[in-house]
Structures are given as C-alpha cells and as structure tokens.
Amino acid sequence: MMNAQTAETVSITSAAIGQFGRYLLSARTNHFISDQRVAVGGPGEAINAGELLLSSLGSCSLGLIQKTAKEEGIVLREAGTEVSFRRHATDPTQYEWIRIVVRLSGVTAGEAETLVAGFTANCPIYNTLKRGGPVEISWNVS
C-alpha cells in the first residue's frame, strides 16, 4: 500500500561536542546525547549507537502493532517488546543476531500473528536490517 510517507526523507544531525565519545544528536527539534561504549573508551553514560538501533526496532514494532490492531479492530490490552543483539565474537563489525520478543495481552494467538505480521510487513527498519539494504557514505573536509 503506497502512502504519502513512502517517499519521505528523514535526516538527523550529530556532532562531537568536546568530550571524547560524547555526541549531540538532533532530530527535528529534539536533541539528545549519545555516548560511545566504555569498552571502546567512551563515557558509557548515555544511550549508545547499538542501543539506539534496538530502540528504533522497539518503537517501530509497537507503533505498527498498535496501528494494525486499530485497523483490524483487535482489542489489544498491552504490548511491549524486548529487543536485543549479540555482537559477533570474532568480527566486532557485525551482530551475530538481533532478536525481537513481542509481548501482547488481551489477544488470541491468531490476532497476535496478525499484529506481528503488520509490523514485519511494514517496518522499513526491520526490513532493511533483515535484507541487508544498501547504505551509502560520503564525506567532505573543511
């Protein structure tokens, strides 16, 4: 199903802010701090990049599960997710796995399957990770 958001372009900005391993991230008018992990020399106090990835999957899953419930007339009492990854033991540039555990209450098993399918069929974050989508990088020097 095509909609106005299909071709939406979203950008965030990030900047190193004077303390090694600490960054200011901005999305629209929202600003927050992210840290490098302690294991690589960062402060490790604020949310880190891997946790942000997991958070985006959690947010997308719940948003689409609620949307699907509303569209399908499914009465969903509660919904939650636990999203985790394991860093690959010998290749730290990749995750060995990413897991999403969805917790739903007030629905039947069939309704749960419909709700989770609404997420997996429509979340661009999930599907890009699952399919290994294209990533481009460029740089400039000033």
**Claim: this prediction has a pTM higher than 0.85:** yes
Of the pLDDT bands very low, low, confident and very high (cuts 50, 70, 90), residue 3 is: low
- Tell how far CA 49 is from the center of its chain: 10
Of the pLDDT bands very low, low, confident and very high (cuts 50, 70, 90), residue 140 is: confident
Dihedral over Cα of 59, 10, 117, 98: its sign: negative
User: What is the C-alpha radius of gyration for the chain, rounded to an integer number of angstroms?
Assistant: 18
Write the pLDDT tens digit of every residue in 54-107.
999 999 999 999 999 999 999 999 999 999 999 999 998 999 999 999 999 999
